[in-house]
């Protein structure tokens, strides 16, 4: 496993791989890897000759009052995990390499960034699309794998790729959950034991709503109410949003007549956790 | 000479060229070509195996009260000229191919777009960077040639390429002028005979200022005053701006102690013409 920390070296390595006919997959991460990331890497491993994992805590996608400085980091642990998962190249640039003095360019996706996390985290998706565009141009992949846990991010990236014409196949990998249902996330590390137990309310609220949906309920407000009550019953949880949206436009849906995503964001202790479930009509 | 009108076909053609080891140059244009464009093509021809000229009047870079619909177009004339100049591929997409329904992504360069034409044409450079990013991703060039007549555009593109990490060499080609000094521009076609004569005031005002500079004048305001007087003497001309700026940041300069660009925009009849000259210290 090769570790590359400079973007120029990454570009030259990607050029050489492409020139020798290798198919490159990129798995972009912010590190502090868990089994969710491993499933992305496995998915990439199946479809490409060379798997590159980028490891970069991107300051652009954190708001001024968010957890950029405290975001968990452990390179040695990540490296062992990636080695075990068959990663070929780790691209781990420094902030100064990605954003040198004078940097002033953004990639902006205008509409699908507005709802959900876009409401709570202004500027977040502009940071995401800008860094992902840079990672794409640097690692030159044929395909890239993103997790469905960050459902809006996935939709935003798909939109950017289509709109700008990146010649990269975007693969969505399903959410990986803990045995009790909690979606895996690096931010779960923020939870103490009590908060960790409380955090199960996210997935349970989604599963309960899904059961109502399967039983025939199509009114979004009623599904949202059911989820809201389940989370409200947990004193350590504070709801940021619970919404049901069109899976492509991410606009709010009143009555579910087409595929929809039920997406939630909940504060528990210092952590802001998100989860979602797709409701297939 | 091959004409390609679909971006997917352009991508596949570019892939094949790259796979066979060809060096690709792109010359982005809005068509209605003149000797200025021919000089860009010659410059590209010298440095690459395959010269692609894109021909696309980009609606995104025109304001609502600007000349998108009346911008001069003549594909047959352009094709003959390109054939003669040794162009290999013309990429001439339709607006619907570049911006299909649902399109919602922009590339934004934040600071160097603010002054000069950015003041008079809000949104213009966002349109330019967005389309150029798309053209780069579609034609996959090793190098691209831009004219110095659009000096700010050149600086903005260089900034975008550096910031996002496009692996493309940007080559600047000097302004080509008519015998009387008028910078070549597709928009010169808007001028009637009288206006055409008046238009010489742009380059003359720059040359006069340059003479003062060469004679030792380093105070930007005095050079600007001299140019302003020359243009004000022309009744058909109306000044949009005359400025002297740092060649890299494009911020206004008070005293010229480093390389500066003197840039002007002047309305003559229906045409808004621009010109510039670099003042080397």
Residue B120 is encoded by which pair of tokens?
A: 């008079």
Give Cβ neighbours of residue A258 (< 8 Å, ≥ 6 apart).
Answer: A246, A247, A281
CA of B138 vs chain A CAs: smallest distance (Å): 7
Residues A176/A184, Cβ–Cβ less than 8 Å: yes
pLDDT at B82: 98
- Contacts B130 to A, Cβ<8 Å: 164
Interface test with A, best of B165, B166, B167 (most A CBs within 10 A): B165
**Mean pLDDT over residues A8-34, rounded?**
97
Interface test with A, best of B23, B99, B105, B130 (most A CBs within 10 A): B105
Q: How far apart are CA B76 and CA B91, in angstroms?
A: 14
Q: How far apart are CA A82 and CA A222, in angstroms?
A: 43
- Pairing mode, if any, of strands A105-109 and A89-91? unpaired
**Mean pLDDT over residues A243-272, rounded?**
97
Closest CA to A16 of A133, A132, A134, A140: A140
Cα–chain center distance at A111:
18
pLDDT at A90: 98
pLDDT at A141: 98
Residues A68/A62, Cβ–Cβ less than 8 Å: yes
Q: Does residue A34 have an active-site annotation?
A: no
B105 and A7 in contact by Cβ < 8 A? no
Q: How far apart are CA A21 and CA A43, in angstroms?
A: 20
**Mean pLDDT over residues A215-230, rounded?**
98
Give Cβ neighbours of residue B267 (< 8 Å, ≥ 6 apart).
Answer: B237, B238, B239, B240, B273
Q: How far apart are CA A78 and CA A68, in angstroms?
A: 18
Q: How far apart are CA A29 and CA A61, in angstroms?
A: 13
Q: How far apart are CA A4 and CA B88, in angstroms?
A: 38
Cα–chain center distance at B223:
24
Residue B29 is encoded by which pair of tokens?
A: 């244009």
Q: Residue A115 — very low, low, confident or very high, per pLDDT cuts 50/70/90?
A: very high
B160 and A105 in contact by Cβ < 8 A? yes
Q: At B24, phi and psi to the nearest 5?
A: -105, 135
Of residues A6, A34, A37, A110, which has the active-site annotation? A37
The structure tokens 């436009």 sit at A249
Per-residue pLDDT tens over the stretch B93-131? 999 999 999 999 999 999 999 999 999 999 999 999 999
* CA dihedral over B48, B52, B53, B58, signed as positive or negative: negative
Dihedral, CA atoms, A110, A116, A121, A127, nearest 10 degrees? -40
pLDDT at A275: 98
Q: Residues in chain A whose beta carbon is closer than 8 A to a beta carbon of chain B?
A: 7, 11, 15, 102-112, 129-130, 133-134, 137-138, 140, 159-160, 163-167
**Mean pLDDT over residues B19-48, rounded?**
97
pLDDT at A38: 98
Taking each helix axis as running N to C, give the angle between helix B200-214 and helix B220-232, from 0 to 180 degrees, rounded to the nearest 10. Answer: 150
CA of B201 vs chain A CAs: smallest distance (Å): 35
pLDDT at B86: 97
* CA dihedral over B269, B271, B272, B274, signed as positive or negative: negative
Q: Residue B17 — very low, low, confident or very high, per pLDDT cuts 50/70/90?
A: very high
Q: What is the mean pLDDT of chain B?
A: 98
Q: What is the mean pLDDT of chain A?
A: 98
pLDDT at A29: 98
Per-residue HEC secondary structure of chain A comes to: CEEECCHHHHHHHHHHHHHCCCCEEEEEECCCCCHHHHHHHHHHHHHCCEEEEEECCCHHHCCCCCCCCCCCCCHHHHHHHHHHHCCCEEECCCHHHHCCCCCCEEEEECCCCCCCHHHHCCCHHHHHHHHHHHHHHHHCCCEEEEECCCHHHHHHHHHHHHHHCCCCEEEEECCCECCCCCECCHHHHHCCHHHHHHCHHHHHHHHHHHHHHHCCCCEHHHHHHHHHHHHHCCCCEEEEEEEEEECCCCCECCECCCCEEEEEEEEECCEEEEEEEEECC
Give the DSSP per-residue string, B238-270. EEEEEEEEETTT--B-SB--S-EEEEEEEEETT
For each of the domains in chain B, give its residue range(s) and CATH number, in order of start.
2-173 (3.40.50.620), 186-276 (3.30.1300.10)
Sheet holding B143-147, edge to edge: B2-4, B89-91, B50-55, B24-29, B143-147, B169-173
pLDDT at B81: 97
Helix (H) or strand (E) holding B3: strand B2-4
Residues B256/B281, Cβ–Cβ less than 8 Å: yes
Per-residue pLDDT tens over the stretch A138-187? 999 999 999 999 999 999 999 999 999 999 999 999 999 999 999 999 99
Of residues B37, B124, B142, B280, which has the active-site annotation? B37
């Amino acid at each position: 496993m090769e570790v590359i920390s400079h973007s120029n070296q990454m570009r030259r390595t990607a050029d050489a791989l492409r020139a020798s006919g290798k198919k490159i997959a990129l798995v972009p991460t912010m590190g502090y890897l868990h089994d969710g990331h491993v499933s992305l890497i496995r998915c990439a491993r199946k479809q490409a000759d060379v798997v590159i994992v980028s490891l970069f805590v991107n300051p652009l996608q954190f708001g001024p009052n968010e957890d950029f400085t405290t975001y968990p980091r452990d390179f040695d642990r990540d490296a062992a995990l990636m080695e075990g998962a068959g990663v070929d190249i780790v691209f781990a640039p420094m902030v100064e390499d990605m954003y040198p003095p004078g940097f002033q360019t953004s990639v902006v996706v205008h509409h699908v960034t507005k709802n959900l996390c876009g409401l709570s985290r202004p500027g977040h998706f502009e940071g995401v699309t800008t860094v992902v565009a840079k990672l794409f141009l640097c690692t030159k992949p044929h395909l890239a794998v993103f997790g469905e846990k960050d459902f809006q991010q996935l939709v935003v990236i798909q939109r950017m790729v289509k709109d700008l014409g990146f010649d990269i196949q975007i693969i969505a990998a399903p959410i990986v959950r803990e045995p009790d249902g909690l979606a895996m996330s690096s931010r779960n590390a923020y939870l103490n034991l009590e908060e960790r137990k409380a955090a199960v309310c996210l997935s349970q609220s989604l599963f309960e709503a899904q059961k109502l949906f399967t039983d025939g309920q199509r009114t979004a407000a009623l599904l949202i109410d059911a989820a809201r009550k389940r989370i409200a019953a947990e004193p350590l949880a504070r709801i940021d949003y619970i919404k049901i949206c069109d899976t492509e436009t991410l606009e709010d849906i009143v009555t579910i007549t087409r595929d929809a995503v039920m997406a939630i964001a909940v504060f528990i202790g210092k952590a802001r956790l998100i989860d979602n479930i797709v409701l297939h009509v």
